[in-house]
Structure 1
Amino acid sequence: MGLDVGDRTIGIAISDGLGLTAQPKETIRRVSLKEDIDRLVELILENNIIKIVIGLPLNMNGTLGPQGEKTQGFAQKLEKKLKYSDRMVGKTVEIVFWDERLTTASAQRALIEVDMRRENRRQIVDTVAAVFILQNYMDHQKNMR
């Protein structure tokens, strides 16, 4: 599962069964931390997720900025929920971070290239960014073998 965590939304992508391609899943409109994490737990269980790749927003010089710190904080809370949730007994889900620099810009460009209207782009750009994050991670893992 790939996540693009923002202040207002969380874009979600999942891989196919073979772990070859990333597919858009949904965009969560953020309401509260509890509701956001509860929805993620549902998706993790429904899709038998064993690894979550969270896009880490780094500054262009590679340093961690305020948004990166927020993302790390969110990941820590998600990890804690996964570890102590009654629904997750017997399941282990690994959380890894992946450099997400320019993924939202790449997602915007891809949607513009297919002539998607601006208001429609806003609704799915975070999910497309999550697809880029997950696909880049999977491609990197495949090339490391």
Structure 2
Amino acid sequence: MNNVVAALGLDVGSKRIGVAGCDRLGMFAHGITTIVRKSWQEDMAQLQALVSDREVTTLVVGLPYNMDGSLGYQAKQVQKFARGASKHLGLALEYVDERLTSFEAEQIMQSQGFSPRENKGMIDRKAAALILQQWLDRRRDR
């Protein structure tokens, strides 16, 4: 009986990658860290350390669809990164529609008294947690 959930949620941006993890039961997602992007090798080294430490099997990546449901330039860049990361790290890859997660993360932060402008890394982690939570909820509902 292997019902352990080991997934990382990623909010991939051009400057930062928000990273979230979940409990082993797959109930709750939480922000772990924000990777400041430097190079492919450094990004992968940081992700590999998290994957090894947390025994991750699945990468859950937020895909920024356009409001009309189409894939724009940014979504295609995220897909390219995600496919490469999945292959490099040897992980299953799943996508979640991440429209408005960064906006939702900013709203949560403001309600908690944080300034989104001064805490961009925290927004990225929260957005990654929202992405992963959406995947966990969908997975549980199946």
TM-score, normalised to structure 1, is 0.89
**8 Å CA contact retained: 1:4, 1:127:** yes
- Distance in 2 between residues matched to 1:140 and 1:77, nearest whole Å: 25
Q: Could you say which residue in structure 2 is the equivalent of 1:99?
A: 97
- Distance in 1 between residues matched to 2:30 and 2:115, nearest whole Å: 21
Q: Could you say which residue in structure 1 is the equivalent of 2:41?
A: 34
Q: Could you say which residue in structure 2 is the equivalent of 1:88?
A: none
Q: Can you list the C-alpha shifts for 1:100-122, whole angstroms capped at 9, x where unaligned? A: 00000000000000011344432
**8 Å CA contact retained: 1:108, 1:121:** no
- Match for 1:108: what amino acid? E
Structure 1 residue 97, shift from structure 2 partner: 0.7
Q: Any gaps of 5 or more consecutive residues in structure 2? A: 1-7
Q: Can you list the C-alpha shifts for 1:14-60, whole angstroms capped at 9, x where unaligned? A: 00111100011000000011110111111001001111100001000
Instruction: State the secondary structure of the residue aligned to 2:42.
Output: helix
Instruction: Choose from 99, 107, 110 the match for 2:108.
Output: 110
- Match for 1:29: what amino acid? V
Q: Any gaps of 5 or more consecutive residues in structure 1? A: 84-92
Structure 1 residue 6, shift from structure 2 partner: 0.1
Instruction: Choose from 49, 63, 73 the match for 1:56.
Output: 63
Hey, which bits of structure 1, 4+ residues long, moved more than 2 A? 117-121
Question: How many residue pairs are counted as aligned between the two chains?
Answer: 135
- Report the RMSD for the aligned CA atoms in angstroms: 1.1
Instruction: State the secondary structure of the residue aligned to 2:67.
Output: coil
Structure 1 residue 8, shift from structure 2 partner: 0.2
Instruction: State the secondary structure of the residue aligned to 1:45.
Output: helix
Instruction: Choose from 6, 28, 37 the match for 1:21.
Output: 28
**8 Å CA contact retained: 1:2, 1:133:** yes
